[in-house]
Amino acid sequence: MKFNARKASRKWACGGLACGETAMALAGALLLVVGLQTEALASPRSHGAGSRERAGEAQDGARRSARGEIVAPRSVPLPRPRPPEAPAKAHEQATEPKNSTDQEGEKAAEQAAPAPPAPSPCRQALTDEIAIAPSIPDIHGPGGCGGEDLVRLEAVVLPDKRRVSLKPAAILRCTMASAIADWIRTDITALASNLGTSVSELDNFDSFECRGRNRVAAAQLSEHARANALDVRSLNFANGQSIALTDRTVPRELRETVLHTVCARFSTVLGPGSDWYHEDHIHLDLMERRNNYKICQWDVWDPLPRIAPLMPAARPDDAPPRETIADDEQHEGEPTTEADQPAASKSPAKESAGQSIRSAKKRR
């Protein structure tokens, strides 16, 4: 038997393709009846009457669908319970305790993450036996401010375990902090020992600060902005003595001793005499230059006189007599001194008169 779409109207009484809608409605009704019958079989026997009613409704709906009517279901079936083997939901996973498998997975993820960089050789050498200097995160500021391998230098530990505090604590690069600690532990400790005491505190005037040189706008970046400089104002000792490095009243020998120690250790030393920005403190840094060139500009000034002289000093007795205006007018046209006069004009009377005039001027 051959069949095609053109001859469908000859073979079927429903009119060819028009039978599609009727067939679809009939198929939907049959599926609804099968579903209701399955549900009736699955329900307990105590609900047999309700099942028969639903079956009758399904048959009625099937007959109405066969006539081309639209049948709306009177009830919606409830969803089936979640199988026990199904994976847990997201909110349930958050509340449930983690088992050993999850913990192992987290450990594996932590191990796969990149490890933090190893401490630098300077950081390994700057231990708690040398300085109290905890590491701080790197600073990356505008215009190149900041740096890496930074520490907060709070105190320097002396060989006898006593501490020299930095007031306030200084933000420095590890290399600069190590140089400061070595300077205090070696040179300043020896200076304090000669004074019969020990150093106890360093007055920190400035350390890290993002700025140009001498705080001038648009100036070249200062070593303070690179955390590579420290400004020192004074050193305090255990016996109450203090050395203000720019104070003229402090003994010159002490200030010169400090000058020689810092100029031997640091690449830049600026103090009084360098410029008016450093008249009240000493600037130290480790700036790198060609051929390890260093700058040491610190004039150790002598103390100022306590009382300024009000009167001029007395004239020495052997000084020649002063010439006055009256003498010049009187002897105008004549030789000014006796040596310029001719030998024939000299007489004993004039010589005696000249001697008396000179003795009178001396008595004045």
pLDDT digits (tens, 9 = 90+) for 71-127: 555 566 777 888 877 776 665 555 555 566 666 666 666 666 666 778 899 999 999
3-state secondary structure the chain: CCCCCCCHHHHCCCCHHHHHHHHHHHHHHHHHHHHHHHHHHHCCHHHHHHHHHHHHHHHHHHHHHHCCCCCCCCCCCCCCCCCCCCCCCHHHHHHCCCCHHHHHHHHHHHHHCCCCCCCCHHHHHCCCCCEECCEECCEECHHHCEECCEEEEEEEECCCCCEEEEEEEEEEEHHHHHHHHHHHHHHHHHHHHHCCCCEEEEEEEECCCCCEHHHCCCCCECCCCCCCEEEEEEEEECCCCEEECCCCCCCHHHHHHHHHHHHHHCCEEECCCCCHHHCCCEEEECCCCHHHCCEEECCCCCCCCCCCCCCCCCCCCCCCCCCCHHHHHHCCCCCCCHHHCCHHHCCHHHHHHHHHHHHHHHHC
Amino acid at the residue 360: A
Q: What pLDDT is attached to residue 45?
A: 47
Residue 313's pLDDT band (cuts 50, 70, 90):
confident
More confident residue, 45 or 315: 315
Q: What pLDDT is attached to residue 343?
A: 46
> With 80 as the cut, is the pLDDT of residue 199 above it?
yes
Highest mean pLDDT among 19-23, 36-40, 198-202, 314-318: 198-202
Q: What pLDDT is attached to residue 100?
A: 61
Q: In sequence order, what are the residues at sequence separation of 6 or more whose Cβ sits closer than 8 angstroms to the Cβ of residue 175?
A: 122, 149, 228, 286
Q: In sequence order, what are the residues at sequence separation of 6 or more whose Cβ sits closer than 8 angstroms to the Cβ of residue 142?
A: 210
Q: What pLDDT is attached to residue 70?
A: 56
Lowest mean pLDDT among 40-49, 55-64, 105-114, 302-311: 40-49
The Cα 55–Cα 37 span in angstroms is 6
Q: What pLDDT is attached to residue 361?
A: 45
In 3D space, the residue among 260, 271, 280, 262 whose CA is nearest the CA of residue 298 turns out to be 271
Q: What pLDDT is attached to residue 91?
A: 57
Q: What pLDDT is attached to residue 27?
A: 65
**Predicted confidence (pLDDT) per residue in 228-271, tens digit:** 999 999 999 999 999 999 999 999 999 999 999 999 999 999 99
Q: What pLDDT is attached to residue 350?
A: 46
Lowest mean pLDDT among 49-63, 109-123, 149-163, 300-314: 49-63
Q: What pLDDT is attached to residue 84?
A: 79
> With 70 as the cut, is the pLDDT of residue 319 above it?
yes
In 3D space, the residue among 102, 282, 122 whose CA is nearest the CA of residue 188 turns out to be 282
More confident residue, 329 or 280: 280
Q: What pLDDT is attached to residue 219?
A: 83
Residue 226's pLDDT band (cuts 50, 70, 90):
very high
**Predicted confidence (pLDDT) per residue in 158-177, tens digit:** 999 999 999 999 999 999 99
Q: What pLDDT is attached to residue 128?
A: 95
Lowest mean pLDDT among 29-33, 121-125, 219-223, 285-289: 29-33
Q: Give me the mean pLDDT over the 9-37 stretch.
A: 57
Q: What pLDDT is attached to residue 161?
A: 94
Residue 4's pLDDT band (cuts 50, 70, 90):
low
More confident residue, 50 or 206: 206
Q: What pLDDT is attached to residue 82?
A: 81
> With 60 as the cut, is the pLDDT of residue 129 above it?
yes
Highest mean pLDDT among 56-60, 96-100, 309-313: 309-313
**Predicted confidence (pLDDT) per residue in 337-360, tens digit:** 444 444 444 444 445 545 544 544
